[in-house]
């Protein structure tokens, strides 16, 4: 079984081309990654029927490696260096730390305007706010839809901020991509494979939230669906898993997932302590803990008046609390030797 072909440092472009052509001839897709010293070629597909010798004897080939995991492109074996996503100078990945903040749902222009102004003043680099809301009850506020996108676009341009918003269906991807700098896949859509393939065909970074009942391997396999389509700008988001003690917490924030994902994958890992706990008083302490565990960023829900929020007000920080959070995390970010 051949999955990864390591070319010799002095391999010629002609030798690299011969290997990729051989992969295509066998019915697979090559994925070429050029490093500073050598080129690595991944074979995308079920390679269990291919002998290593097919490629090992080819000119310019140094080594052939088999990756036993189902998720190949997401694995650190395939991509040893950490992936860093650069959005107009805002970097997400190892060595950098970013805060994405804003309301759970975009309710009106005034609400988003006030929030964007405040979080930018306090150091947040990316504005969040959903316009399409997947809710447990169909009678809950489901978002403003296309009208909400117009508000996001207007506020984005006013404050010159990057924005992240959720996309729920394949047919919405193009419309949301016109406004949003990062496409968010929510916990309920982690297993929506057609949606994953669709965002994988865009050139937009994708923040993939872990399903509240998903194993780490399932999470990484869903990231693989996006990567397989050619989009290598994937951000993993731990947002809490199902809790059995619902008397005290909405979800359990699985902080162990952060170092596990960092070990298994090269992709950036951010944490959503708002959904991860479901209680605003827990957001700041769990944010500190997430940074200490190695998170590359936070996704925080902020609202001018959480008590009046149309969704998730009980887990949203008010402006004063968000200001406190931004002050309190600075020592932890510095301790982890990251740049904000």
Number of C-beta neighbours around residue 18 at 10 A? 16
Q: Find out whether 301 and 104 touch, Cβ atoms under 8 Å.
A: yes
Residue 319 CA to residue 111 CA, distance in Å, equals 12
Residue 25 CA to residue 119 CA, distance in Å, equals 53
Task: Write down how long the chain is.
Answer: 340
Average pLDDT over residues 4-10: 90
Give the SS3 label for residue 257.
Answer: helix
Residue 139 has pLDDT above 60, yes or no: no
Q: Which residue in 156, 125, 178, 158 sits closest to 299, CA to CA?
A: 125
Task: Give the per-residue pLDDT at 46.
Answer: 77
Residue 148 CA to residue 146 CA, distance in Å, equals 5
- Torsion sign across C-alpha atoms 113, 274, 319, 101: negative
Give 78's pLDDT tier (boundaries 50, 70, 90): confident
Q: What is the mean pLDDT of the chain?
A: 92
How do residues 167-192 score in pLDDT, each as one tens digit? 999 999 999 999 999 999 999 999 99
Residue 1 has pLDDT above 60, yes or no: no
CA 54, 57, 61, 64: dihedral to nearest 10 degrees? 50
Residue 174 CA to residue 176 CA, distance in Å, equals 6
Residue 252 CA to residue 243 CA, distance in Å, equals 5
How do residues 98-132 score in pLDDT, each as one tens digit? 999 999 999 999 999 999 999 999 999 999 998 98
Residue 276 CA to residue 91 CA, distance in Å, equals 24
Task: Give the per-residue pLDDT at 213.
Answer: 94
Main-chain phi, psi angles of 170, to 5 degrees: -55, -35
Q: Which residue in 86, 197, 146, 148 sits closest to 310, CA to CA?
A: 148
How do residues 243-297 score in pLDDT, each as one tens digit? 887 778 889 999 999 999 999 999 999 999 999 999 999 999 999 999 999 999 9
What SS3 string covers 98-119?
EEEEECCECCCHHHHHHHHHHH
Residue 176 CA to residue 168 CA, distance in Å, equals 10
DSSP 219: H
Task: Give the per-residue pLDDT at 261.
Answer: 98
Task: Give the per-residue pLDDT at 137.
Answer: 66
Q: Which carries the bigger pLDDT value, residue 216 or residue 65? A: 216
Q: Could you give all domains of the chain from N- to C-terminal order, each with its CATH number?
A: 4-65 (3.30.70.1140), 85-335 (3.20.20.70)
Q: Find out whether 261 and 238 touch, Cβ atoms under 8 Å.
A: yes
Task: Give the per-residue pLDDT at 89.
Answer: 95
Residue carrying structure tokens 């992240």: 164
């Amino acid at each position: 079984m051949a999955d990864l072909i390591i070319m010799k440092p002095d391999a010629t472009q002609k030798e690299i081309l011969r290997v990729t052509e051989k992969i295509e001839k066998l019915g697979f897709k090559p994925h070429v990654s050029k490093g500073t010293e050598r080129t690595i070629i991944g074979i995308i597909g079920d390679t269990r029927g291919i002998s290593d010798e097919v490629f090992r004897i080819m000119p310019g080939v140094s080594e052939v490696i088999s990756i036993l995991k189902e998720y190949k492109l997401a694995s650190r074996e395939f991509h040893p260096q950490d992936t860093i996503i650069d959005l107009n100078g805002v970097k997400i990945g190892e060595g950098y730390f970013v805060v994405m903040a804003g309301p759970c749902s975009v309710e009106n222009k005034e609400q988003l305007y006030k929030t964007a102004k405040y979080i930018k003043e306090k150091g947040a680099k990316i504005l969040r706010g959903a316009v399409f809301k997947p809710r447990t009850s169909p009678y809950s506020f489901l978002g403003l839809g296309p009208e909400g996108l117009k508000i996001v676009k207007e506020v984005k341009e006013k404050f010159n901020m990057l924005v992240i918003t959720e996309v729920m269906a394949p047919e919405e991807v193009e419309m949301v991509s016109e406004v949003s700098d990062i496409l968010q896949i929510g916990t309920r859509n982690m297993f929506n494979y057609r949606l994953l393939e669709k965002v994988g065909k865009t050139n937009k970074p994708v923040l993939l939230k872990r399903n509240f009942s998903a194993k780490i391997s399932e999470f990484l396999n869903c990231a693989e669906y996006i990567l397989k389509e050619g989009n290598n700008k994937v951000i993993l988001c731990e947002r809490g898993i199902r809790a059995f003690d619902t008397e005290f917490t909405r979800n359990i924030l699985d902080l162990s997932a952060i170092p596990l994902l960092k070990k298994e994958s090269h992709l950036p890992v951010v944490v959503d302590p708002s959904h991860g706990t479901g209680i605003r008083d827990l957001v700041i302490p769990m944010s500190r803990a997430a940074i200490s565990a190695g998170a590359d960023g936070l996704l925080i829900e902020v609202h001018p008046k959480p008590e009046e929020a149309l969704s998730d007000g009980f887990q949203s920080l008010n402006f004063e609390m968000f200001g406190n959070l931004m002050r309190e995390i600075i020592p932890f970010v510095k301790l982890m030797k990251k740049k904000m």
